[in-house]
Amino acid sequence: MKLKAFAKINLTLRVFGQRPDGFHNLESIMQSVSLCDYVTVELISSGIEITCDDPSVPLGPKNIAYKAAERFLSRVKGYESGVRIHIEKKIPMAAGLAGGSADAAAVLYGLNQLMTGDSQLETGDLMKIAPQVGSDVPFCLTGGTCLVEGRGERVTKQEPLPKTYFILVKPDFEVSTKWAYEKFDKLFTSHGSRFTKFSNYLELAVIEKYPEIARIKERLLTLGCSEAQMSGSGSAVFGVTREKDKAAAVLEEIKKDCPRSFLTETVKQGVEIL
C-alpha cells in the first residue's frame, strides 16, 4: 500500500511552560499542505524493515516510522508477522514541517488498513498510540485544519480554510527542535511579553541565531505574500496567498535565492492512500 504523508505548517503557535514530563504545553492551529512524502507499507513474515531514498534518514529504531510500526504491532491482537516500509522523502528534514511525524502517521494508518477483522483498530485507538510515537503524530494522523493543544495529543478539527497557497522556503540550515525550545525557555524568562507580538512564539528565539529567517519573511512579503511566518521550530518559512498565479510568481522569484522552495496548498487530510 502506497500513501501520501502530508507536511504540516503552524498557522499559529503559542508555547507555554515546561511540563513535568519535559515537554511544553502548546496551543497551535496546524494545517496540512500538499507537499508530501510517499510511504509504502507492506506486510512481511517477521520484523520491521525500513528503506529510504535519502541516505541521511536513519533506517533502524531511531526512525520515528519504525517506532510507529513497533507500537502498532504490539497492540494488534493475534498478529505475529512484520512490516516493510519504504519512504520517498520530499519534505525537508529539521524544518518544522513534521516530515518524520507525517511518515509515522502514514505507517499507523496504512498498517491499520492492511489489518482484517479484530486486528483492525478503531480511530480512537490509533489516536492513543500516536502521541506515544511523537508529539506531531496525532495531528498528522488527523490532518486538515486543527486546533492542537497539550503536548500535541489533543487535536480538534476546525472549519477548513478556503483554498490557500503557501510558498514554503527551506534555508540551507537546519534547526534542532530541542535547541529551539531550550532557547525559548531562556528568553521567555526575561522577555515574555515580547512573544505576544509573534504568531509563532518560537520565532523570536530562533531568529536571534538565524537572522536569515527574518530576511526570508521580508522577501516573501515584498514579493506580494499577505503573510509570512516560520513554521514550528523552523527552519522553513512560508508565505501566504489566495491566488495561485501570484503564488507561482513568488515561487519563481524566491527560488533564485532559495532553491529549496515549494508551492503547496491546503489539503483536508493528513494521510491519503494512492
Catalytic residues: 8, 136
Asked if residue 133 lies in contact with residue 104, where contact means CB atoms within 8 angstroms, the answer is: yes
Which phi and psi (to 5°) does residue 95 adopt? -125, 0
Asked if residue 205 lies in contact with residue 189, where contact means CB atoms within 8 angstroms, the answer is: no
CA dihedral 219, 224, 230, 236 (to 10 degrees): -70
Helix (H, G, I), strand (E, B) or coil at 96: coil
Q: Give one DSSP letter per residue of 107-160, joined into a string.
A: HHHHHHHH--GGGSPPHHHHHHHHHHH-TTHHHHHH-SEEEEEETTTEEEE-PP
Buried b (16+ CB within 10 A) or exposed e, 99-133: bbbbbbbbbbbbbbeebeeeeebeeeebbebbbeb
- Rounded CA separation 25/14 (Å): 9
- Tell me the three cell numbers of residue 151: 503536548
| Residue 248 vs residues 31, 122, 217, 238, 251: alpha-carbon distances, Å | 20, 41, 17, 14, 5
The helix (H) or strand (E) run that includes residue 46 is: none
Asked if residue 15 lies in contact with residue 233, where contact means CB atoms within 8 angstroms, the answer is: no
